[in-house]
């Protein structure tokens, strides 16, 4: 017998919003089930029913900001409860805004409330960090089965055999879990290019250790179809409406 499921979970599975956002929209009466408004938290529905966000919810989503930061070394991607290190979000200021002709109508002074990193980047790593107020984008980038590729350039020290290069591509495991297949190739004589579809803690550094390599530098240069490009270290820019991960 088919069971009813929480509407907030169904909305998240459909990629329409995060569960937290769904609860907010339900409270505001901005969700319908088969055309009927639902405004009670914890409401449930069958999978075959038509669940939709109303225009008011879509307008709220359109107003949510997503930015790209070129994170320097020394900043952590998430907030530190002990306040030992500075979070990358502290760099999202008007002074660090990297303006371009494509963004001349955007105002770098915006309400950063709810702006959070969609993914991690170690304190000693640099490059592309996405911060967003939009739960849909966060789920797309860091959800359990995210389809989004993340590309890294990794400076390494040590010798790498053809066999170990193949192991980097597929055959290693971390914490007892076999890693998903990766694209790994030499970029130049001391730098490897990694393309991953997962992001386990310090994954690339640990992968390299397993084949006898020492990582000297690591930079994320692309997430999905959006690249870091010429964004200088410590600077940020808006993700434009026409850009899709």
Domains detected in the chain: 5-62 (3.10.290.10), 64-145+226-238 (3.30.70.580), 150-223 (3.30.2350.10)
Residues annotated as catalytic are: 122
Please state the pTM of the whole predicted model.
Answer: 0.81
Structure tokens at 190: 């001391």
Strand partners, 220: 127, 152
User: Contact 11/53 with Cβ under 8 angstroms?
Assistant: yes
Per DSSP, helices labelled H in the chain are 7-13, 19-27, 55-62, 135-142, 162-169, 203-210
The b-or-e profile of 202-233 (16+ CB within 10 A means b, else e) is bbbbebbeebebebeebbbbbbbebebeebee
Q: How far apart are CA 196 and CA 56, in angstroms?
A: 36
Nearest residue to 119 (alpha-carbon basis) of 98, 150, 81: 150
Nearest residue to 26 (alpha-carbon basis) of 13, 45, 7, 49: 7
User: Contact 150/220 with Cβ under 8 angstroms?
Assistant: yes
Predicted confidence (pLDDT) at residue 82 exceeds the cutoff of 70: no
Q: What is the structure's pLDDT at 111?
A: 85
Burial (CB < 10 A; 0-12, 13-18, 19+), residue 133, is buried
User: Contact 236/110 with Cβ under 8 angstroms?
Assistant: no
Q: What is the mean pLDDT of residues 50-70?
A: 87
Residues 115-151 pLDDT 10s:
999 988 999 999 999 999 998 898 889 877 888 999 9
The b-or-e profile of 50-71 (16+ CB within 10 A means b, else e) is ebebeeebeebbeeebbbbbbb
Q: Tell me if residue 242 falls in helix, strand or coil.
A: coil
Q: Tell me if residue 18 falls in helix, strand or coil.
A: coil
Strand partners, 157: 214
- Report residue 60's pLDDT band, with 50, 70 and 90 as the boundaries: confident
Q: How far apart are CA 47 and CA 63, in angstroms?
A: 29
Q: What is the mean pLDDT of residues 194-208?
A: 93
Average pLDDT, the chain: 90
- Half-sphere exposure at residue 240, Cβ-oriented, CA atoms within 13 angstroms: 13
User: Contact 70/234 with Cβ under 8 angstroms?
Assistant: yes
């Amino acid at each position: 017998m088919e069971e009813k499921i929480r509407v907030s979970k169904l909305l998240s599975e459909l990629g329409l919003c995060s569960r937290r956002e769904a609860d907010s929209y339900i409270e505001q009466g901005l969700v319908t089930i088969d055309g009927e408004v639902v405004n009670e938290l914890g409401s449930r529905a069958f999978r075959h029913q038509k669940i939709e966000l109303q225009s008011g919810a879509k307008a709220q989503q359109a107003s949510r900001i997503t930015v790209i930061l070129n994170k320097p070394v020394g900043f952590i991607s998430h907030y530190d409860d002990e306040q030992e290190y500075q979070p990358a979000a502290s760099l999202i200021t008007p002074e660090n805004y990297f303006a371009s002709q494509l963004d001349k109508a955007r105002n770098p002074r915006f309400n950063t409330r709810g702006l959070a990193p969609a993914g991690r980047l170690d304190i000693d790593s640099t490059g592309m960090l996405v911060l967003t107020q939009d739960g849909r984008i966060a789920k797309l980038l860091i959800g359990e089965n995210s389809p989004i590729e993340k590309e890294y350039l990794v400076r390494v020290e040590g010798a790498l055999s053809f066999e170990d290069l193949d192991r980097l591509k597929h055959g290693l495991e971390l914490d007892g879990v076999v890693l998903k297949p990766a694209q790994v190739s030499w970029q130049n004589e001391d730098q490897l290019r990694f393309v991953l579809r997962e992001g386990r803690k310090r994954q690339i550094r640990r992968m390299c250790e397993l084949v006898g390599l020492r990582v000297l530098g690591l930079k994320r240069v692309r997430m999905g179809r959006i690249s870091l490009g010429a964004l200088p270290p410590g600077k940020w820019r808006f993700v434009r409406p026409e850009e899709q991960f």
